[in-house]
Structure 1
Amino acid sequence: MPITAGLRQEITFLHAQVCQALADPKRILILYALADGPRRVTDLAEILSLPQPAVSHHLKVLRERGLVVANQEGTAIYYALADERVIQALDLLRDVLRARLAQHAELVRQFSEEEEK
């Protein structure tokens, strides 16, 4: 079944929403912290040295975008990655960034050599 233009647009919109959720460095730190296993808001706040209300807000955004899930155990709510592949995606983006930084470093080196002539 071919993908219609409307469906393609909806998928692209959802993709952009996930990317928007990843656009905040604190949310990326939260996701990496959750890679070690489920955690409570208070645990994340302590680990990341962030105010608890800020962590709660970021978790809300990540939940709305389907990147984390919440599970209640007694009176505690534990947050976990919705899909472990999120970390693989973040790691891949870091690899791309690392390659770009290496290219920029090479340009800076070449520029510096030209300046010294």
Structure 2
Amino acid sequence: MNKQDQINMIREDFINCQKVLLAIGDETRQSILLVLMGTDCQTGLRVGEITEQTHLSRPAVSHHLKVLRDAGVILMRKEGTKNFYYINVSTELGLLRTLMLNIDKFMQNYYGNDGM
């Protein structure tokens, strides 16, 4: 694959990752993701539990959870009237891995092993 083909592939990767990059680029959403990652609970957390751990308001947590859900980073499970949020393990975050691998391969091919 030539240099321009690799650049085009990386361009496409960036396009595919835009929603995820926007969703996880926000510091507040990063803190919510860290809370979700840090829990021992495999079933997810409710908004109130996330609110307690992030010290954000319920409306703020709900807003950020919606952004993360819309980007495919987290999922929600309903149990009666309760909603549980958890990280989507088969997530769009995998697109970021592809993007980084393609950038790394490009850097090695054209700038040597140290990326310089």
The answer to whether the aligner puts 1:54 opposite 2:33 as a matched pair is no
Q: Which amino acid aligns with 1:34?
A: L
* C-alpha distance in structure 1 between counterparts of 2:22 and 2:70, whole Å: 11
Matches within 5 A, 1:75-94: 75-83=81-89
SS in structure 2 at match of 1:83: coil
SS in structure 1 at match of 2:84: strand
* C-alpha distance in structure 2 between counterparts of 1:53 and 1:10, whole Å: 34
Higher share of residues assigned helix = 1
SS in structure 2 at match of 1:43: helix
Of the two structures, which has the highest relative contact order with CA contacts closer than 8 Å and spacing of 6 or more?
2
Rg bigger for which structure? 1
Give aligned pairs, total: 84
* C-alpha distance in structure 2 between counterparts of 1:83 and 1:16, whole Å: 19
Deviations 1:11-54 (A, max 9, x none): 43231221111111110111111112310011101111000000
> Taking structure 1 as the reference length, what is the TM-score of the superposition?
0.61
Q: Which amino acid aligns with 1:54?
A: A
Moved over 3 A (4+): 6-11
Q: Which amino acid aligns with 1:27?
A: R
Q: Which amino acid aligns with 1:69?
A: L
> Taking structure 2 as the reference length, what is the TM-score of the superposition?
0.62
Assess, with a 3 A threshold, how the Cα gap between structure 1 residues 84 and 26 changes in structure 2: closer, same or farther. Answer: farther
SS in structure 2 at match of 1:17: helix
